Amino acid sequence: MELGRVNQLKVKRIVEQGAYLEDNMGEAVLLPLQDVPDGLQLGDTLSVFVYLDSDDFAVATLKKPRIQLGEFAQLRVADTNQVGAFLDWGLPKQLFLPFAEQPQRVEVGQQVMVCLYIDNTGRLAASARLERHLSPDPASYRAGDPVNLLIWRRTELGYLVIINHQHPGMLHQQDLFKPVRPGLSMPGYIKQQRDDDGKIDVMLDKPGYGRVEPLAEQVLDYLKVRGGQCPLNDKSSPDEIKAIFGVSKKAFKMAVGNLLKQGVIVADEQGIHLK
């Protein structure tokens, strides 16, 4: 049974206070009565999140928090006091963010990027010192690998991201063809991992021809709903292409070239048209 994570547990006993759930090792945890679903039977398996209540007893809940152990997420500051801040993470008991884990003091209502960890007292807590909680192990990605990206913060080069809740990466400005913001979680792809320093660049679209087929379908759908006409062609500006399709001019030209080879469209000075 993992504290701070979703566990698959079996119903062992149903009591007045709720239901006791067990893992394969016989460790039990209480699912309080208010969380017990109607019709629950002995032997049923439930997907529950395990955390500590206000008395530091392990309890289970069917509610899914916005962050799990070892993960990163942007959460809202719900309250502060003399020892730290408390974050809204989707559970009745708010998540504690100690002063020692705040690079800058946070305020109520502020959105703050944190990692969920277990402190030296065995309790779940949040840390805004993210670098401490990134994986110390060297990354091993290949160009084109699909990954999960969490947008971390804006830089002069673009956006710093967290890859698969483990490694830092960079989403460069030239690879931005859709709006992003800190705290947004989204799919992405590895662009390259440098041999000299191990730094990782990412992108939002499939690299190379992996992006062509879905983009070509997008162009065809656009033509079909607009009478077979699109005002874009090779001479269109990158901004015009980005405004309609949200992609680079290079990607657009590759997709159009593919459709031209298939013979389903024609191109002229007015744009592209269904054949």
Domain check: are 200 and 214 in the same one?
A: no
d(CA 28, CA 98): 29
**138 belongs to a structural domain:** no
Q: Record the tokens describing residue 146, joined without a space.
A: 């699909």
Nearest to 251 by CA among 149, 159, 177: 177
pLDDT given at position 207: 67
Domain check: are 21 and 40 in the same one?
A: yes
Q: What residue has token string 């502020």? A: 110
Domain check: are 187 and 227 in the same one?
A: no
Which CA distances in Å does 67 have to 70, 82, 185, 266? 8, 25, 12, 49
Which CA distances in Å does 61 have to 22, 57, 148? 14, 13, 26
Report the Cα–Cα distance between both ends of the chain, in Å, rounded: 60
Q: Record the tokens describing residue 189, joined without a space.
A: 């792809």
CATH code (residue 36): 2.40.50.140
Instruction: Judge whether 161 and 185 are in contact, CB under 8 Å.
Output: no
H/E element, 146: strand 146-154
**234 belongs to a structural domain:** yes
Nearest to 173 by CA among 202, 207, 146, 198: 202
**181 belongs to a structural domain:** yes
The helix-helix angle for 238-245 and 212-225 (nearest 10°) equals 80
pTM of the model: 0.77
Domains held by the chain: number: 4
Beta-sheet strand order (sheet of 124-127): 95-98, 84-88, 72-80, 111-118, 124-127
Show pLDDT as tens, one digit a residue, over the chain (275 residues): 899 999 999 999 999 999 999 998 889 999 999 999 999 999 999 999 999 988 889 999 999 999 999 999 999 999 999 999 999 999 989 999 999 999 999 999 999 999 999 999 999 999 999 999 999 888 889 988 999 999 999 999 999 999 999 999 999 988 887 789 999 999 999 999 988 788 999 998 776 655 677 788 888 898 888 888 899 887 888 888 888 887 778 888 888 888 888 888 888 888 888 88
**Residue numbers of the domain that contains 217:** 209-274
**259 belongs to a structural domain:** yes
**139 belongs to a structural domain:** no
Domain check: are 215 and 199 in the same one?
A: no
10 Å CB burial of residue 242 (0-12, 13-18, 19+) is middle
Which CA distances in Å does 110 have to 51, 78, 106? 24, 8, 7
pLDDT given at position 239: 84
The string of DSSP codes covering 196-260 is TT--EEEESS-SGGGTHHHHHHHHHHHHHHTTTEE---TTS-HHHHHHHHSS-HHHHHHHHHHHH
Nearest to 252 by CA among 231, 270, 225: 231
d(CA 70, CA 126): 10
pLDDT given at position 243: 83
pLDDT given at position 209: 55
Instruction: Judge whether 95 and 86 are in contact, CB under 8 Å.
Output: yes
CATH code (residue 269): 1.10.10.10
**55 belongs to a structural domain:** yes
pLDDT given at position 211: 65
Domain check: are 239 and 260 in the same one?
A: yes
